[in-house]
Chain A
């Protein structure tokens, strides 16, 4: 057994342990903090699985943004006088047996892959050069399966609208009540003044190079969103009311440009979401830049929550 295999087995065991602990821990806040650590270890596993794009996305969105939302919720709910009892022992045993069966079934299936492993990697590499991209994952996301990426952006916007619709009627159009969970201290303010310029550069860089090396719109956009949230939480910038035109404009600019270029494909290339020969890379970079902006604003507002106070109060 080589050291790298031992390392991998150790990683797998560790996240399994942490994951199981977050399910059974008594205190919700501790469970959430454990989940954040779980997410970061998961990002390491993605690197071990030779998927750096996924590792970046997992660290940024899966662990970073999700962790932030869960921490905020756990902190809010601490005051809840919760006395829910849940299902009884026999129910738990039945569910436990079901879960064991499902896990065992999945494990057996994953342990015995077919003899000839089907893979689309050769097909991707053959066709990647046409679009001028160097990053095969970006190629899949923006060239071969662009429809999925476009729809996924719509899903994000819709989730934001759904969250906004939870606001009380009187607060519609108002300011999200982004909770500040830490005391506005000099440390937080210092961080919020120091990190964002660095974060913005990192975010823009990740978006820009995503065409050729791991990175891309989602990862870059998340870093930008995180910086914006940090600045808002520290109180250095006001949370915008949701009816501001510039906010709405930035929210939709990504999908609008993506859609426009896709529709232009009817005329300029052969099909919807096809790129005219030779212009693929600049068009894709344009789409990625617009998407990064939209994703940054969408994720930032997702973190801010539904409007809670009218801007005129």
Chain B
């Protein structure tokens, strides 16, 4: 249950919350009307501004030690809508800002409007879609009303789907259509849950719901349906079928955005639902089911990744596996004494896993894209010699893999360490076994790729395109973020706990 700070009497003046949503939207609208290469310029101008706003919010929350809130239109819930930023939101917004900045810098080389045309299709679309994704993610993180979150989810989907088919190949069109169908079905299931909740409690505000909610058939049905819908959008096993072709078929910068950020949006809403709106509803059985699906994702995703011939598909299946880790935090956060989900170290671990995966996977997709551009293909068997050509890129890929496997001092290591600790303490040793198996399998395919990449080529490798240094640097910068996240987290990882209800020690 959230404390009374969730329902402010007056706007606490955190206009930065509004700006974080409105600025990218303004960018989208202006780009559309100004057209041409202004879309790229507007996006590049907004990157540092958006990063600054996210930093301001992060600093306000962590130094202030309490959540921010903004009552939109001066109408308090249940009639109106509140935007809320607690430690969880602020951390995720910071992650989104950093990743989008890195991807934006990376994408300048790939999505430049040629000098002789006023407007080109792919660059124009890409920059606007990037801004739209940023805005949608921010709404997901600070939205305090379940219906606003529904609109945000749809915004996110409509911005992500065209990115999949951005280069116009037939198989990407198919992947995009499949993604769209899964996503809109997921949204409509989410909406059914919202209908049931409104019908029972008369409000869709998260804080008010958390106070009113009790376990009755309508609420349980709502929880089940909303979660099912969100799982389809997050591509958790067995609803993961749309993800590999979609993420592998998109252009490099788009794949990075999709894997790093878009799937985290719907995941974040599952966290909000289970930890904030109805912590006591799913029960031990519900959390174990989520954990089991996560475990299956880890095993299936990693095994399928091992069997891939193409690098981008390998990275995409790796995403399917890493998403499974995210859901292990649910059974580990369950406190059997209070029969509810507790916001403790398991929550921090899950969010840390999300952030380190976002940075690592972003870097890996960017690296894979650079290798594709340099070699003209992304067959793993033919990667020999790329280590000589693009050392920075291969190094970035390797660092990303370090975080995925969970080696110190990466964020992935810290996250998995916290999860293992929680598993051992609560006696749920089976999750620990799955995590260790996952780590082994991940090391397997990372070794496969890196050993091929580092072998010298038998004949000189022809470079299909020159790769600008700053693209490699952007990939490396993100990979370094994921590597060093473990260190930074030790000092302030309780940022995630700000604004959370005080929890009894769960271990």
Contacts and interface: CB of A to CB of B under 8 A. Distances in A.
Instruction: Tell whether A pairs with B.
Output: yes
Interface in B178-200: 192, 196, 198-200
A272 B71 CA distance: 8
Contacts of A243: 35, 118-119
Interface string B139-161: 10000000110011011001101
Contact of A270 (B11, B155, B200, B203): B11
Nearest to A108: B217
Interface in A238-253: 243, 245, 248-249, 251-252
Contacts of B494: none
Contact of A151 (B74, B79, B139, B201): B139
Contact of B154 (A112, A127, A155): A155
B64 interface: no
A72 B28 CA distance: 30
A164 B73 contact: no
B201 A118 contact: yes
A188 interface: no
A159 B80 contact: no
A259 B119 CA distance: 26
A144 B80 contact: yes
A148 B73 contact: no
B33 A248 contact: yes
B72 A155 contact: no
A162 interface: yes
A148 B121 contact: no
Contacts of B198: 118
B154 A165 contact: no
Contacts of A51: none
Nearest to A263: B22
A118 B200 contact: yes
B29 A157 contact: yes
B345 interface: no
A158 B155 contact: yes
B213 to A, nearest CB: 12
B477 interface: no
A55 to B, nearest CB: 18
Interface string A99-143: 000100110111011100011100110010000000000000001
Given A118-B200, A144-B80, A169-B121, A157 B71 contact: no
**At the interface, is chain B mostly helix, strand, loop or mixed?**
helix
B162 interface: yes
**At the interface, is chain A mostly helix, strand, loop or mixed?**
helix
A106 B124 CA distance: 44
A272 B26 CA distance: 14
Interface string A255-274: 11001001101100111111
A108 B196 CA distance: 11
B81 interface: yes
Contact of A249 (B15, B25, B33): B33
Interface stretch (B102-110, B125-133, B322-330, B389-397): B125-133
Given A152-B151, A259-B29, A165 B73 contact: no
Contact of A105 (B18, B22, B118, B221): B221
Nearest to B18: A272
A294 B135 CA distance: 21
Given A106-B221, A119-B202, A165 B151 contact: no
B221 A147 contact: no
Contacts of B221: 105-106, 109
A274 B74 contact: yes
Contacts of A146: 72-73
B32 A118 contact: no
A163 B435 CA distance: 41
Interface in B84-140: 118-122, 124-125, 128-129, 132, 135, 139
Contact of B15 (A108, A118, A147, A266): A266
B168 interface: yes
7 contacts: A119-B202, A124-B79, A148-B151, A151-B148, A154-B25, A161-B129, A272-B18
Q: 9 smallest A-B Cβ distances: which pairs?
A: A118-B202, A162-B162, A165-B125, A172-B121, A273-B73, A271-B74, A274-B74, A272-B18, A109-B218
Interface of B: 11, 15, 18, 22, 25-26, 28-30, 32-33, 35, 70-75, 78-81, 118-122, 124-125, 128-129, 132, 135, 139, 147-148, 151-152, 154-155, 158-159, 161-162, 165-166, 168, 173, 192, 196, 198-203, 217-218, 221, 225
